[in-house]
C-alpha cells in the first residue's frame, strides 16, 4: 500500500514536471517566433530583399523551397520538374546571389523573409 502511494506521488510529480516543461517550451517557441519575425522585418528594412532583384520568379520559388530545407529531389517532385533542372536553378542562384553554398541560400531565404520559422 505504501509503495503504491509513493508510486502514485512519483507519477503525479513527473506529470506536473512534464506539464511545466511543456509550457516553458511553448513560451520559448512563441518568444523565438516573435524575435525571428522582428529580425526578418529588420532585415527587409535594411535592404536584404534587394539582393533578390535579379532573380526570376521561378528562381525565387526554388530559393524558397531550398530555404525550407527541401532536397533537390523533393523540390523536383514539388514543382514537377527534373532534378537536373533543379540543380541548374540552384547553380544559377548560387552565382546570381554570390552565395558560397546551399547554406548561404537558406540564410538568405530567411533574411529576405521568403521563409519564416514554423509556428
What 3-state DSSP class applies to 96?
helix
pLDDT string in tens for the chain (119-residue length): 777 888 788 888 888 888 888 888 788 878 777 777 676 666 654 566 667 888 999 999 999 999 999 999 999 999 999 999 999 999 999 999 999 999 999 999 998 889 988 77
Contacts (Cβ under 8 Å, ≥6 apart) of 79: 61, 62, 65, 86
Report how far residue 44's alpha carbon sits from residue 48's, in angstroms, rounded to the nearest whole number.
5
Is 97:55 a contact under the CB 8 Å cutoff? yes
- State residue 44's pLDDT score: 59
Domain boundaries, the chain: 2-111
CATH architecture of 2-111: 3-Layer(aba) Sandwich (3.40)
Query: For the whole model, what pTM was predicted?
Result: 0.60
Amino acid at each position: 500500500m505504501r509503495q503504491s502511494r509513493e508510486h502514485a506521488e512519483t507519477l503525479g510529480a513527473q506529470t506536473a514536471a512534464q506539464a511545466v516543461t511543456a509550457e516553458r517550451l511553448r513560451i520559448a517557441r512563441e518568444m523565438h517566433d516573435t524575435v525571428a519575425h522582428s529580425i526578418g522585418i529588420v532585415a527587409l528594412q535594411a535592404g536584404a530583399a534587394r539582393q533578390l532583384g535579379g532573380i526570376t520568379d521561378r528562381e525565387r520559388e526554388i530559393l524558397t523551397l531550398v530555404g525550407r530545407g527541401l532536397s533537390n529531389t523533393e523540390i523536383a517532385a514539388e514543382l514537377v520538374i527534373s532534378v537536373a533542372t533543379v540543380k541548374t536553378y540552384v547553380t544559377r542562384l548560387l552565382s546570381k546571389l554570390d552565395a558560397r553554398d546551399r547554406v548561404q541560400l537558406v540564410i538568405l531565404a530567411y533574411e529576405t523573409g521568403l521563409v519564416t520559422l514554423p509556428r
